[in-house]
Amino acid sequence: MKFVIATNNQGKLAEFDAILGRAGYTVCSLREAGAETAEVEENGANYAENAFIKAASCHPPDGFAVIADDSGIEVDALGGAPGLYSARYGGEGASDADRRKKLLTALEGVPAKKRTARFICAICCILPDGRKIEVTGRCEGSIGRVEKGGNGFGYDSLFILDETGLTFGEMSEPEKAIFSHRARAIQALIVRLKEENITC
């Protein structure tokens, strides 16, 4: 079975491909699969609902499963913001750099011990027979005062993982494939796929 990843984010696609690929699953982009997607409003009440909305909007060819995720960074000093609006933080047309700058500005003057944060990722997988698998991954850390590292995307260069003391931007892809919220969600998905006897 092949899996279509319902995203146009190349960074996300690479993470899914790397981890699922090592487990023996075949991953395709929307374009590679010739999948159709409808324009959707991510108006779910949580990450899991948004992941399902995105997965359900994708119509791959027969025999393909579809995977979508929704993720966000929650900063305690900001009451959990940007949260569900992480990808839209900074307004329409804002770049990743714009969003990082806005986050740093919002945290000006906040001491290190109060800059705690977490990344959360929810994944929804819809199988060809209509069955739905939902999993979640998370990781705890804090927001640095300056960007560190040029790897990754989004908020990666600001998020310092508790377990390593490094930002995701400082980690190699193999390291991030162990520690990130999305990696943990994908690993949970692999466990569920094996439980359901879903093979390639």
Q: What is the DSSP string of the chain?
A: -EEEE----HHHHHHHHHHHHHTT-EEE-HHHHT-EE-------SSHHHHHHHHHHTEEPPTTEEEEEEEEEEEEGGGTT-BGGGGGGTT-TT--HHHHHHHHHHHTTT--GGG-EEEEEEEEEEE-TTS-EEEEEEEEEEEE-SS---S-SSTTTTTEEETTTSSBGGGS-HHHHHHHSHHHHHHHHHHHHHHHTT---
- Look at residue 117 and tell me if it is in a domain: yes
- Look at residue 147 and tell me if it is in a domain: yes
pLDDT on residue 36 = 78
Determine contact, residues 168/156, Cβ cutoff 8 Å.
yes
Taking only the tens place, the pLDDT of each residue in 128-174 is 999 999 999 999 999 999 999 999 899 999 999 999 999 999 999 89
For residues 91 and 68, what is the distance between their CA atoms, to the nearest angstrom?
A: 23
- Look at residue 190 and tell me if it is in a domain: yes
- Look at residue 140 and tell me if it is in a domain: yes
For residues 135 and 167, what is the distance between their CA atoms, to the nearest angstrom?
A: 24
pLDDT on residue 9 = 86
For the chain, give the mean pLDDT.
94
- Look at residue 200 and tell me if it is in a domain: no
For residues 20 and 67, what is the distance between their CA atoms, to the nearest angstrom?
A: 11
- Concerning whether 70 is annotated as a catalytic residue, the answer is yes
In sequence order, which residues have a C-beta less than 8 Å from that of residue 31 and are 6 or more positions away? none
pLDDT on residue 8 = 87
For the chain, 200 residues long, give each residue's pLDDT as a single digit of tens.
Answer: 899 999 988 888 999 999 999 999 999 999 999 887 877 888 999 999 999 999 999 988 898 999 999 999 999 999 999 999 999 998 989 999 999 999 999 999 999 999 999 999 999 999 999 999 999 999 999 999 999 999 989 999 999 999 999 999 999 989 998 999 999 999 999 999 999 988 76
pLDDT on residue 37 = 80
Choosing from 70, 76, 96, 156, the catalytic residue is: 70
- Look at residue 151 and tell me if it is in a domain: yes
- Look at residue 122 and tell me if it is in a domain: yes
Taking only the tens place, the pLDDT of each residue in 98-109 is 999 999 999 999
Q: Order of strands, edge to edge, in the sheet holding 64-75?
A: 26-28, 2-5, 64-75, 116-126, 132-143, 159-161
Total domain count, the chain:
1
Residue 132 belongs to a domain with what CATH number?
A: 3.90.950.10
In sequence order, which residues have a C-beta less than 8 Å from that of residue 177 and are 6 or more positions away? 15, 18, 19, 183
**Token duo for residue 47:** 């990450």
Domain encompassing residue 126 = 2-195
- Look at residue 20 and tell me if it is in a domain: yes
